[in-house]
Amino acid sequence: MPTLYDPFSPEVVADPFPYYARLRDEAPVHPVAKRLWAVSRYDDVSNVLRSPVFSSSATRLMMMGGLESRMQADEATLRKERRRVQRELGLGPRGTEEGWNENSLISLDPPQHDLVRNIVNRGFTPRRIARLAPRIREIAEGLVDDIMARGDELDLSVDYSTPLPVRVMAELLGVDPGDADDFKRWSDVVISGVTGDMAVEGPAPLLRTLDELGAYFLEVVEQRRREPRDDLISVLVAAEDNETLSAVETVNFATLLLAAGNETTMHLIDNAMLALLGHPKQQQQVVAEPKLVPGLVEETLRWDGPVQIAFREATRDVEIAGTLIPKGDIAIALFGSANRDDRQFPDGERFDIFRDTQGHMGFGFGVHFCLGASLARLEAQIALETLLARLPNLRRGSGEIERFDSFLVRGPTHLPLRYDAPGA
Ligand code: HEM
């Protein structure tokens, strides 16, 4: 059967939802390419994510290697190619995907996963997250001040949604806010494995970046060991009951946070605004009643979430919805499709900030449920409240909306808007 879903086609990147709908109706477990299966219904996605038969080690391989190259070459060939590029660039062990991935939370399975997660959880307590609220508000207000100083046009993505999480991340990690530009550059490259860039440019930019940011974070870790502060890195390296992350693990975790935290939260803010632009009545309602913002954030996570996909590898032959996924093959759990499944969310294709979104998979599901969910919610809520309160009548501006070229992360890179400047 020809595939009903090609994650690389520009049509799917632009609007995957009609493809998901066909998958759910016609082929809920569908072969996408060699060794790769798309799973699209809510119940089946949750089974894959719950089942100990499926391993998360695939996440690392898929994300670091670029799905496209993974599908074309075997693991050993890709590794050899990386080593060659690494030697050519004269990089040390930090620039290897093995180095980057040592005990990386997102690709570990239980019980090792739970051990690392328990340690990093210490840095994400509700108190620690809530304490960031005033600073997030200050950052949001400052960005709106800058926008207003420039006139009545803005690129929401560039001027607001991108810098906000990057600055919050610097705050959380406790590093110099002046390094935020490097953070953004690094996080863009770290996630290049899930974008079109990897296919075009090969692994050299990724390996070089891993080396550079590895050196940066290693120095921060060493400083915090000598002189702990009240920040995430100090919490992670502080021994507690002899449970602590090694220096390399801490560096890897910080690297993961850059990609997992920055390249997602920015798209949540943009996707919420895009959804409102397409639903003007709901836009008016939420502008009039800021207490509707949390509903807007949850419905955006369900209807047009920034993370569309997770990968899981079958550790033995396993049947999902009557289809055999052979041992070693990979299931693509389509969160974006599960979230619109009418079997779970009545009239799932309809955007409605008043609906019950309980159980949406915008932050994933199961043991890997997003560690940063409460921080992302807080950031998006404050960002949207501030934006809608201060810039009334936001609407499409001149210029095209451009989308991030990725099969995994969904959102715009340019979102031109205009608003009525006060007194205009
Ligand atoms: C709107 C913003 C965000 C979205 C949509 C999102 C989504 C997700 C999803 C779907 C997963 C599960 C991946 C899987 O099952 O393979 C995940 C995991 C994760 N997220 Fe987020 N995320 C967001 C923001 C953040 C932030 C702000 C942070 C940290 C500051 C963060 C840190 C993580 C980490 C560390 C994991 C791995 C957890 C584990 O493996 O146990 N995320 N996220």
Q: Can you say whether the dihedral through the CA atoms of 27, 32, 36, 42 is positive or negative?
A: negative
pLDDT at 342: 98
Q: What are the CA-CA distances from residue 399 to residues 11, 155, 162, 260, 382 (Å)?
A: 20, 9, 18, 29, 27
**Residue linked to tokens 């009039």:** 288
CA-based R_g, the chain, Å? 21
Phi-psi region of 322 (alpha: psi -120 to 50; beta: other; left: phi over 0): left
User: What are the tokens at 401?
Assistant: 């909306």
- Minimum-distance ligand 1 atom for the alpha carbon of 301: 5
Amino acid at 277: L
Q: Which residues line ligand 1 (CB under 6 A)?
A: 59, 105-106, 117, 256-257, 260-261, 264-265, 268, 305-307, 310, 335, 362-364, 368, 370-372, 375-376
- Minimum-distance ligand 1 atom for the alpha carbon of 107: 40
Q: Ligand 1 mean position to 370 CA, how many Å?
A: 4
User: What are the tokens at 239?
Assistant: 């021994």
Q: What are the CA-CA distances from residue 71 to residues 12, 200, 319 (Å)?
A: 18, 15, 22
pLDDT at 95: 46
What CA–CA distance (Å, rounded) separates 392 from 389? Answer: 7
- The residue whose C-alpha atom lies closest to atom 21 belonging to ligand 1 is 370
- The residue whose C-alpha atom lies closest to atom 27 belonging to ligand 1 is 261
Q: Ligand 1 mean position to 152 CA, how many Å?
A: 34
Q: E-assigned strands of 80-176?
A: 153-155
Q: Ligand 1 mean position to 150 CA, how many Å?
A: 34
What CA–CA distance (Å, rounded) separates 375 from 357? Answer: 19
Per-residue model confidence as pLDDT tens digits over 241-268: 667 788 888 888 888 888 889 889 999 9
**In percent, how much of the chain has pLDDT > 70?**
85
Q: What is the spatial order of strands in the sheet that 330-334 belongs to?
A: 29-33, 36-39, 330-334, 309-314, 54-55
Q: Ligand 1 mean position to 14 CA, how many Å?
A: 23
Pocket test for ligand 1, best of 264, 270, 273, 335 (most atoms within 8 A of CB): 264
What CA–CA distance (Å, rounded) separates 161 from 266? Answer: 5
Q: Which residues of 348-381 are buried (b: 16+ CB within 10 A; e: fewer)?
A: beebebebebeebbbbbbbebebbbebbbbbbbb
Per-residue model confidence as pLDDT tens digits over 53-101: 999 987 665 555 555 554 455 556 666 766 776 676 666 655 445 555 5
- The residue whose C-alpha atom lies closest to atom 35 belonging to ligand 1 is 371
Which of the residues in the chain have pLDDT under 50? 70-71, 95-96
Q: Provide the 3-class DSSP secondary structure of residue 334.
A: strand
Pocket test for ligand 1, best of 371, 381, 406 (most atoms within 8 A of CB): 371
pLDDT at 35: 85
pTM score > 0.85 for this model?
yes
Q: Ligand 1 mean position to 265 CA, how many Å?
A: 10
Q: Ligand 1 mean position to 256 CA, how many Å?
A: 9
- The residue whose C-alpha atom lies closest to atom 2 belonging to ligand 1 is 265
Q: Ligand 1 mean position to 309 CA, how many Å?
A: 12
What CA–CA distance (Å, rounded) separates 220 from 229? Answer: 11
pLDDT at 201: 66
What CA–CA distance (Å, rounded) separates 195 from 67? Answer: 9
Residue closest to 193 by CA, chosen among 209, 170, 179: 209
What CA–CA distance (Å, rounded) separates 153 from 398? Answer: 8
Amino acid at 322: G
Residues 137, 399: contact at Cβ < 8 Å?
no
Q: Ligand 1 mean position to 364 CA, how many Å?
A: 8
Domains and CATH numbers, the chain: 10-418 (1.10.630.10)
